[in-house]
Each structure stands twice: as structure tokens, then as C-alpha cells.
Structure 1
Amino acid sequence: MTHRSQLEQKGDTVVLVGCVKQKLARAVPAEQLYTSALFRKRARFAQMFGREWLILSALHGVIDPQHTTAPYDMTLKDMKKPERQLWAERVFQQVMPHLPAGSRVILLAGAKYSEFLGPKLQQAGFVIENPLANCCGLGTQQNWLAQAVDQQDW
């Protein structure tokens, strides 16, 4: 299935990019803080296909990519289910002002980041897409993201 119309519908799309463990050792704009190849490719995809993009952070909830953020060491992988549910509720409240009615949300985040947030956004009436959900392995995800950006289509 082609998503060529994604570029035409960019104004309706918000991309939520999951944070990663690899970070710089100093405070910088959040889009520069996360240093892994996977994050960089997610960010490029988000910039190309989204009207706006935001970073999902285990510590902060939602971060604007331009917001100066200090390094931290926290992940949802270490949280128990009730803590992840509370995190998803917090993120939902933070992201709502960025989502006009009928918005499409593209989730580029690991399973723990999207497990409760995706259904919550869907129940609120947003179209949710998680194109990396069935991509096994970081290499496969990175290749998919790079191809989508190179072809300006996914």
C-alpha cells in the first residue's frame, strides 16, 4: 500500500518519535540529544512526513525537539505495567493540544511506548499508524525508514 498522499496530507499528521538510550553527555535541544542511528532516521522520517513531530521521553513525557533537554537515564522497559499506563495517560494529556480533530498520528516508538498510548489516541478518534510495528530488528527498522525518506513515500 502506498502512502504517497502522506506528503499531501502532511498538515494533518503528527509524528511521535520514541527516545533512545544513547544520548550526549550535555544539555542540548532534544532533537540533538539522542544520538543513535535509529533515532536520527526516525527524526528524518518525522520531519518529512509530519506537520509536527514530538519526542516521547520516558522521563519527560512529550518533548518538543527544540526544547533544551539534559541527559537522563530512564526507560519504559524498566517500568511495571501500571507505571507505563500512568505514563501513557500523562503523554496523552501533553500531546492533545498538538492534535486537531481528525489528525493522523504516526508512532515511531518501541512497543512499550505505544502499547497504551496508541489505543488511547485511537479511542479519542485519531487515526494511528505504527509502520515499524512489524519490523523485526533495529537494522530492518533503520532500512525501512531510510528507504521511505529516500523515496519520499512509504
Structure 2
Amino acid sequence: MKRLCIIPCGKKKIWDVQPDAGPVRAEDAYLSPFHQACERYAKTFFDEWVILSAKHGFLRPDDLVSGNYDVTFGTGHPEIMTADELRRQFHEKGFSDIEELVMLGGKKYRSVLNAVIGEHQHISWPLSSYKGIGYMLQALNRAVEEKHEL
């Protein structure tokens, strides 16, 4: 069965440390420790993974991100992609055919993804039982180190 891992982007980006970086691949754009841990986990356990960005939607690792931004789901920011835009993009990128989805994000992503996925799709939230980002980071790092999927 084909699976897709969806990971959150992150506030800290390459342009925060290299303002003149220009457009970069999505997998190189996000620098927060949580994003980096999610990316390592996704690369370890999944053949296909994407980054979910409030501004850009579903980014494949080699999709280009043009520059810095600060847009977060649930904030009412005018640049947040709508559920319709996310659904369209999800379908256009071929993700609507994937039955098993794994989201490595917190609660704020539930309503976003529930509005996007199809009825035939199952989504799991392996970090939902952890009570904070520190515990999530530990779990992700331990899973990668021990080669044991959460």
C-alpha cells in the first residue's frame, strides 16, 4: 500500500540565516529543530513525503520556495491557502489516490487535513499522544536512531 508522510514546515527558514539565499528547494528551506526531526523521520520511513505549508500548501521536497514568509494555519492571515485550494492541489499532485497518510504535526493540522482528505483515506497522527514539542522531538529522534517507526 502506498503511503504518504506529511510534515509541518516551520517558522525558522533559510532566509533567517542567509537573507540572500534566493529560491531554494523545500527540503532545504525549513530549519527549525522540529521540522528537521520530522524530515529525518520521513526520509527514514517513507518513500514519499511532503511538507505542509500554510502559504504554499503541499510541497514536495524538490519544489521551490521563493523566499521568506510568516504564515501559519489558524491565524487568519490573508495568505493562508483555503481548504478548496489545498484540496485542488492535493488532487493535482496525485495524493488523493494514496490510502494511508501519516501526519507528523499537532492539533492545528487536524481541521486542515480533515477538510482535504477523501473518505477512502486513512490518516494517522503518531505524535498525538505526546504532550509537547520536546517529547515529540525525542520520540522522532529515538525512532530514527532505533529504526523503529512510531
TM-score scaled to structure 2, two decimals? 0.81
What 5-or-longer segments of structure 1 have no aligned partner?
A: 1-8
- Aligned residue among 4, 14, 29 for 1:24: 14
Partners of 1:116 and 1:77 in 2: CA distance: 9
Residues 92/148 of structure 1: CA separation in 2 closer, same or farther (3 Å cut)? farther
Give deviations 1:108-154, integer Å, cap 9, x for gaps: 12322222313642x42111111112211111010111111112222
Q: Work out whether residues 4 and 98 of structure 2, in 8 Å CA contact, stay in contact via their aligned partners in 1.
A: no
Q: Work out whether residues 3 and 98 of structure 2, in 8 Å CA contact, stay in contact via their aligned partners in 1.
A: no
Partners of 1:50 and 1:117 in 2: CA distance: 19
Structure (1/2) with the larger helix percentage: 1
Q: Work out whether residues 61 and 87 of structure 1, in 8 Å CA contact, stay in contact via their aligned partners in 2.
A: no
Residue of structure 1 equivalent to 2:129:
134
Which amino acid is 1:68 matched to? L
Q: Work out whether residues 30 and 64 of structure 1, in 8 Å CA contact, stay in contact via their aligned partners in 2.
A: yes
Displacement of 1:93: 2.4
Note the aligned Cα RMSD (angstroms): 2.2
Partners of 1:16 and 1:116 in 2: CA distance: 12
Partners of 1:47 and 1:79 in 2: CA distance: 32
Partners of 1:62 and 1:99 in 2: CA distance: 10
Tell me the SS of whatever aligns to 2:62: coil
Q: Work out whether residues 13 and 49 of structure 1, in 8 Å CA contact, stay in contact via their aligned partners in 2.
A: no
Give deviations 1:30-73, integer Å, cap 9, x for gaps: 11111011001101111122221111111111111112212211
Are residues 1:143 and 2:138 paired? yes
Within a 5 Å distance, the mapping from 1:49-88 to structure 2 comes to 49-69=45-65, 70-79=67-76, 87-88=82-83
Identity, % of aligned positions: 28
Flag as ranges the 4+ runs of structure 1 deviating above 4 A. Answer: none
Tell me the SS of whatever aligns to 2:52: strand
Which amino acid is 2:69 matched to? Y
TM-score scaled to structure 1, two decimals? 0.79
Within a 5 Å distance, the mapping from 1:94-133 to structure 2 comes to 94-96=89-91, 97-99=93-95, 101=97, 103-118=99-114, 120-121=116-117, 123-133=118-128
What 5-or-longer segments of structure 2 have no aligned partner?
A: 16-20
